[in-house]
Structure 1
Amino acid sequence: MKTTTGTYLLLAMLHFPLLSPAQEIKADTIWNPLRPLVGHWRGEGDGADGKGTYEKNYQFVLNGKFIEVRNKTDYQPSKENPKGYHHEDVGYISYDKARKTFVFRQFHGEGFVNQYVLQNTSNDRRTLVFESEAIENIPSGWRARETYSIEQGVLKEEFNLAEPGKDYAPYTTAVLRKVK
């Protein structure tokens, strides 16, 4: 009896190292739809604040449990803003296991905090659509949507806003190229 129990215990112990990497691989594949975003991007855009140069960085942080997003945009001087305008935001994308989806929390230098949920990805996984489920420090009823399309090292980004009771309208669009 002791030999049989010992044999089963030994076999079980030998298999535990094999189970652990398999679990890591499964958890790691959750990030596959967002993996193409990871890297450093630069480009130009246009929108409500005028023409601007964009710099974005997506990187895994905190043991690969989150993607940190850092954005800097410098808008050129315009009639509405003769000195130009500098925008910064930082965000974190997490995987919500209970809802089985990604949540993107974005903190803006202007004081806005947007919380988005990934609504869908295209069949080819090249387009990601995040829609807001909460926005802090703005009148109630506003909605926001971030759409990212990635193909051959080019990131097309659309940011849309919707006033209460209205449809989404373009706010900014940008085209960025992966630099590393």
Structure 2
Amino acid sequence: MKAKLILTIVLSLFFINTCFGQQSSSWEKWNWLIGEWSGEGAGQPGQGGGTFSFAFNLDKKVIERKSHSEYPATNNKPLIIHDDLMFVYLDFAGSPSKAIYFDNEGHTINYAISYSDKSITLTSEKVPNIPVFRLTYTLLDNKNVNTKFEMSKDGVKFMTYIEGESKKIK
């Protein structure tokens, strides 16, 4: 009887460890983006520049991205300052496949994340009467990244809203 109890406890601990162990994250696909970046770009808001950072937070359970960009005033446009905050988080299986974005214009975007060899692509959910957004980070070399933000009415044909290159500064 005692042997059965011990065996049951051991198997239960193994089962619990296996189930919850799968939730530990592997952030290796994000390692090249962790740090502070500075860059310039152009698009519909005009020519501008800014900074962004990716950092682990909450004991490596989320990645926090902070971004600040400025587009100088022109003859027909006022100065534009854009700040946003995004959290990449783990799905139930422990994979970093989701993100949520907030900005100073009042937007909230829920993203699904996909990966390729040298890029990370975040694509928003399809919501009626709202464009689909796509944000792509492409590694150019170990110190430079291209960032592209696109929009689509149908989720198929995307137009670039803004694109630029950034250099890792930390």
TM-score using structure 2 length = 0.80
Partner of 2:58: 62
Structure 1 consecutive aligned stretches of length 4 or more whose deviation exceeds 3 Å: 98-101
Partner of 2:152: 162
Give the Cα–Cα distance (whole angstroms) in 1 for the partners of residues 30 and 155 of structure 2.
31
2:120 maps to 1:128: yes
CA contact (8 A) 1:141 1:164 kept: no
Partner of 1:32: 28
Superposed CA offset, 1:71-109 (max 9, x none):
00001222441x321000001000112595511111011
- Structure whose CA Rg is larger: 1
TM-score using structure 1 length = 0.76
2:97 maps to 1:108: no
CA contact (8 A) 1:155 1:177 kept: yes
1:144 to 133, 136, 156: 133
Alpha carbon RMSD of aligned pairs, Å?
2.9
Q: Cα distance, 1:70 vs. partner?
A: 0.3
Give the partner amino acid of 1:27.
S
3-state secondary structure, aligned to 1:33 = helix
2:166 maps to 1:176: yes
Q: Cα distance, 1:152 vs. partner?
A: 1.7
2:66 maps to 1:77: no
2:12 maps to 1:53: no
Q: How many residues align?
A: 158
CA contact (8 A) 2:71 2:79 kept: yes
Query: Is there any run of 5+ residues in structure 1 with no aligned partner, and where?
Result: none
2:86 to 77, 91, 97: 91
Give the Cα–Cα distance (whole angstroms) in 1 for the partners of residues 126 and 104 of structure 2.
17
Give the partner amino acid of 1:61.
N
Give the Cα–Cα distance (whole angstroms) in 1 for the partners of residues 75 and 158 of structure 2.
25
Query: Is there any run of 5+ residues in structure 2 with no aligned partner, and where?
Result: none
CA contact (8 A) 1:140 1:164 kept: no
Give the partner amino acid of 1:96.
D
* Structure 1 residues 56 and 163: CA distance shift in structure 2, 3 A: same
